[in-house]
Amino acid sequence: MLSLQEKLLIKISSIFFFAGSLGGIFLQIYFFRTGGFSLVVVYNIIHFVFLLIFYLASGWFLRKTGSSILIRISLFIFSISWLAVVILKQNSYLLAAVLFGVGNGLYWSGYNLSQYLLSQKGKRENYFGKNISFSNFAVALGPGIGGLIILLGNKIYRFPDFGYYLLFFIIFLLNFYIAFLSSSLPSFRGIKFNLGHIINHKRSYNFKLVLGQHFILGLMDVAFDTLMAIMLFVIIGSESALGGVKTVFTLIIAVVGYFAGGFMVKNKKFYLFTILLASIGIFSLGFWPNWWGVMLMGILTGIGFPFFSIALSTAYFDTIDEHQQSWQEKYHLFLERDGVLGSARVISYLILYFLFVKGDKLTIATNWLMAISVLPLIIGWLLSLRRPQRSGMRKQSADLFPSP
């Protein structure tokens, strides 16, 4: 059974991802239509640089500012970001990249800390499985509804790209509702952090594996999402059809995720098989950039990614549990992991940017997908090297639930 606080986390996450999925894929397509591949890559580089900077800065913010307050501030920033896109249109990419980066850095620092402290040790597979499931059910609805809003908006009002601006304004309003929900979360503060913690601490064997896993993940995850969205748009040809296809594929992830968490509590190594499916799925879209490749990618990654994600997230939090300090004294582990993850994401987009300058962009995109298809296999191998966790529950400090 999930606790009430875990259910609240899942509710916030689901609506957050729904809001993001309403417009996220179409924001990438919007910048692609106005500036091509290169503009999309530049936008994402700036976005992830600022995400990394502000996530790392959360080590100082969380000394006196509560985690739920950071989440609410981030949602206000997201609202401003979408409003900027509505007002500035295609000229908004620079400001939007900075604001979305700042917002995501603050949101995920607050949300990840809340997840760690509120999820039940020993049952995290169940929590992550349900979170993946409900978040992806929400994500599945977003592209279809977003594509329909764009289609109807453009038909109702003939102003150029009016459907896009209508969609972005709806997301602007939705973020205020998520901020209201997040005010019910416990607000964790009092982090004891300085840069010396990252520089001087002795990294355990399992934590080194976690850093390796998330560096490889960063080279793959967001670049795959961006290239997949653009290639689907090129292959399918319209926003509404793209939204429908993305909805079907995300529903596969949601259904599989709902059952995957409980299944992995008893079958913890099953992810090794599903990682192979995910790798084949990524390779398929690069090798066959047509409807066959699209279908194989959607089905195989839909089955493989939920198990893969649950195993990765559970190993990450369980490794933090192995450190015997109070949670206030080990926040540097979160920053170190996300520093590695964020740096790898920036590197992946920098590589794509320099490749796109010199050659045919669609060919480069397909070759990149085939190249990164091996990365889930490397992550699976690193996960299999993990040593069993030492016995003992994580330390519960007296101020686990400080007042907001």
Specify if 58 maps to a domain: yes
Residue-wise pLDDT for 162-180, tens only, equals: 787 788 788 888 888 888 8
Report yes or no on 393 lying in a domain.
no
In-domain check, residue 81: yes
Range of the domain at 249: 4-184+203-384
pLDDT tens digit at each of 404 positions of the chain: 788 888 999 999 999 989 888 877 677 777 777 777 778 778 888 988 899 899 888 888 888 888 889 999 999 998 888 888 777 776 777 888 899 999 999 999 999 889 888 887 777 888 888 888 898 888 888 777 877 888 888 787 777 677 877 887 888 888 888 888 888 888 888 888 777 667 777 888 898 999 999 999 998 887 777 777 777 777 776 666 766 777 788 888 888 888 887 777 777 788 888 899 999 998 998 888 888 888 888 899 888 888 888 888 888 888 888 888 788 888 888 888 988 998 898 888 888 777 776 667 677 778 888 888 899 999 999 988 988 765 444 443 333 333 23
- Is residue 112 situated within a structural domain? yes
Which CATH number does the domain housing residue 248 bear? 1.20.1250.20
What was the pLDDT predicted at 77?
A: 92
In a domain, 194, yes or no: no
The span from the CA of 203 to the CA of 378, in Å, is 21
pLDDT at 54: 92
Q: What is the pLDDT of residue 358?
A: 67
Q: Is residue 70 part of a domain?
A: yes
Split into its structural domains, the chain has a count of: 1
In a domain, 255, yes or no: yes
Task: Establish if 403 belongs to a structural domain.
Answer: no
pTM: 0.77
